[in-house]
Structure 1
Amino acid sequence: MKIAVLDDYQNVALECADWTSLDAEIEVFSEPFAGPDEAVARLAGFDVVVAMRERTPFPAAVLDRLPALKLLVSTGRRNAAIDLDAARRNGVVVSATGALAYPTVEHAWALILAGARNLPVEFRSMREGGWQIGLGMGLRDKTLGLLGLGRLGAEVARIGLAFGMRPIAWSQHLTQERAAEHGVTAVSKEDLFAQADVLSVHLVLSERTRGLVGAAEFAAMKPSALLVNTSRGPIVDEAALVDALRRKEIAAAALDVYDVEPLPAEHPLRALDNAILTPHIGYVSRETYEVFYGGAVQDIAAFQTGSPINVLN
């Protein structure tokens, strides 16, 4: 059996799990493929592919061209980059692994604090021999707006309460009773954007949420507001965000996710002083990777015995 482990940017996959239990030849790919044609060419002949989250897409146009592929392991259960119907049609079992929520919550708060206290600018000033640059914003008594109050949004709200913030939230089906369970006030979408001092995105990307935060929403926000997105890039209209940041319609944005990943080197977001950018590392922690890769080994071992587990399709 030949196993391909994809997009291991840090070269840690083999040390985060015991792969020796598998009777297999394993090849690790640390660089992203340039596109679907390269993915097909490089993965030809592999029986098993372990996909790191949604870094490499597996649409029908790729799966139809990988006749040797029999098992595709998704790290985490939700992976919009895999066409499950096409996989089933091609006889490819798609199995999932467990995941951890708290690293992303912690990273959301790292971005909130970095944005509130202008940390990237202050870091750069210190390295360049300077001193204080800006005036930070305290979080106590400020309004924490949550676009989505699922598992992650609720955890972000809990920490916001510890900072003395007032959490409010909106999503399409959020009720006042559900919000109150987490110490949060449910508000209208309009009030969420108008009132939030910090607005953190915690929705699943879908056709309903794609482009949900756009020019009208930025225009409604406070000029002192901070937008934080650790969910999925396309939930926020990227062009509208760049325009809002350039015109100082909002104070700053702290982003971990983008429309195109890796973010192109010449992307306009990279040139904006009020854009705090991290390379989609919200979930990237040793603990998460041990769950991902340990689960992948278990999925492959079960598949080898003829009894696949954690099957998505």
Structure 2
Amino acid sequence: MLDFLKSEPQNIVVVGDAFVRPETMERAVRASRVNAAEVSRVFWGNEDKDDFAARQMNLEKNGPEAEPWAEGLAPLLKDCTVLMTHFSPVPRGLIDRAPKLRAVLTCRGGMEHIDVKAAGERKIPVINVIRNAVPVAEFALGLMLAMTRNIASSHHRLMEGEWLKEFPNSGFVSTLGSLTVGLVGLGNVGMELAIRLKALEVPLIVQDDYLDRDRMKRNGLGDVTIVETKEDVFRLADLVSLHLRLTPETRGIIDQSCFSLMKPSSYLINTARGGIVNQADLIDALRRHAIAGAALDVFDREPLTPEDGFAGLDNVVITPHIAGATVDAIPNSPFLLMRTVDKILTQGLKDRIVNYKEIFSD
């Protein structure tokens, strides 16, 4: 399948940035089973992490054509056989200028910065890594507790000098095990969260258009209730946690039609992508107390400002897109990525390749 990566010398180009260093990428490549004959290092952007965040948001919203690829990369494309990137874009134009390119590797889970379709047309496999599934799952669990038990709200009021014991959701407060949690999306993060909720004996319902039942069984989730539609989740769950990718099909998919199905005692948790939620509809539901509350780490526009509408709401917990921000997840992601590549090489795990169905259509 991808045996050429270890059987033939590869001319590898690594493109690092302010968060994932190209030196770390090279070390990870050379520590793997890939036959790295030559490794060229390129840096995308600059050391300003705020500038990086703005570029990242642009790519996530508008795709790989939205930002220029790394300066100094073009001359290396002629002989490049493996391209490894973090967030530096890989648009069709780059792929077209790399006649020898045989694999694209990326140190993250999202694919917004890569033209996967263009790679598939050339039968070039794209391999990613889910570097922060556990951190995000743990954070989502933390948001559930912070929201339902008023941990964040009571802290905020105490810091303002108020000894408050009554909150908008006081009539709904209960233990997590008394609530039904519904997961919309059961990919890597959703799976990790489900495992933790199951261990806490929390009732679960899940919905995913591409549900992997075998994977559920392998993770001890074979008896979890599966529902057919996201609407079923919003109707039945006390806590709805979103774990969807942001695509043209999912943008704004969680809107008033979903919120109208929720019980007045229900909560929304979003650690996935802000763009999947119609933010105006959510704010309206929160203002009217049509739902008990929401806990959000992601927003349609970042960084969030007071003008975005959440200021003054007493039934929301918001955090600045930090669910995956542990000290080790991002900087060490090249090593996680290359361990994934090694598993493909040794175990033939085609499902670890983003576009494997297109590449290996047989």
**2:112 counterpart residue number:** 80
| SS in structure 2 of the partner of residue 254 of structure 1 | strand
Whole-angstrom CA distance in 1 between matches of 2:307 and 2:267: 20
Question: In the alignment, is the contact (CA less than 8 A) between 1:145 and 1:169 conserved in 2?
Answer: yes
Question: In the alignment, is the contact (CA less than 8 A) between 1:157 and 1:184 conserved in 2?
Answer: no
| Structure 1 residues 57 and 123: alpha-carbon distance in aligned structure 2, compared to 1, 3 A threshold | farther
Question: CA shift at 1:109, angstroms?
Answer: 0.5
Question: In the alignment, is the contact (CA less than 8 A) between 2:274 and 2:298 conserved in 1?
Answer: yes
Name which of structure 1's ranges 100-109 and 214-223 shifts more when overlaid on structure 2.
100-109
The one-letter amino acid of 2:163's match is W
1:165 pairs with 2:197: no
Whole-angstrom CA distance in 1 between matches of 2:299 and 2:90: 19
How big is each residue's C-alpha offset from its partner over 1:199-236, in whole Å with a ceiling of 9 and x where there is no partner? 11123334443333211110110112110112222222
Question: CA shift at 1:63, angstroms?
Answer: 4.7
Give the aligned length: 295
| SS in structure 1 of the partner of residue 285 of structure 2 | helix
**1:5 counterpart residue number:** 16
The one-letter amino acid of 1:44's match is E
Whole-angstrom CA distance in 2 between matches of 1:158 and 1:49: 31
TM-score (norm 1): 0.72
The one-letter amino acid of 1:102's match is V
Question: In the alignment, is the contact (CA less than 8 A) between 1:149 and 1:174 conserved in 2?
Answer: yes
| Structure 1 residues 281 and 183: alpha-carbon distance in aligned structure 2, compared to 1, 3 A threshold | farther
Question: CA shift at 1:114, angstroms?
Answer: 1.2
**1:306 counterpart residue number:** none
Whole-angstrom CA distance in 2 between matches of 1:145 and 1:98: 22
1:111 pairs with 2:143: yes
**2:86 counterpart residue number:** 51
2:319 to 278, 286, 290: 278
| Structure 1 residues 26 and 273: alpha-carbon distance in aligned structure 2, compared to 1, 3 A threshold | farther
2:278 to 217, 227, 237: 237
The one-letter amino acid of 2:164's match is Q
Question: Aligned-residue CA RMSD in angstroms?
Answer: 4.3
The aligned runs of 1:249-264 (5 Å cut-off) are 249-260=290-301, 262-264=302-304
Name which of structure 1's ranges 156-165 and 176-185 shifts more when overlaid on structure 2.
176-185
Which structure 2 residue ranges, 5 or more long, are not aligned?
1-11, 31-37, 60-64, 77-82, 341-351, 356-362
Which structure 1 residue ranges, 5 or more long, are not aligned?
300-309
The one-letter amino acid of 2:151's match is L
Question: CA shift at 1:198, angstroms?
Answer: 0.7
The aligned runs of 1:289-300 (5 Å cut-off) are 289-294=330-335
| SS in structure 1 of the partner of residue 330 of structure 2 | helix
**2:185 counterpart residue number:** 148
**Percent identity for Structure 1 against Structure 2:** 30
Question: In the alignment, is the contact (CA less than 8 A) between 1:2 and 1:45 conserved in 2?
Answer: no
Question: CA shift at 1:193, angstroms?
Answer: 1.3
Question: In the alignment, is the contact (CA less than 8 A) between 1:141 and 1:164 conserved in 2?
Answer: no
TM-score (norm 2): 0.63
Question: In the alignment, is the contact (CA less than 8 A) between 1:229 and 1:257 conserved in 2?
Answer: yes
Question: In the alignment, is the contact (CA less than 8 A) between 1:158 and 1:182 conserved in 2?
Answer: no
| SS in structure 1 of the partner of residue 186 of structure 2 | coil
The one-letter amino acid of 2:186's match is L
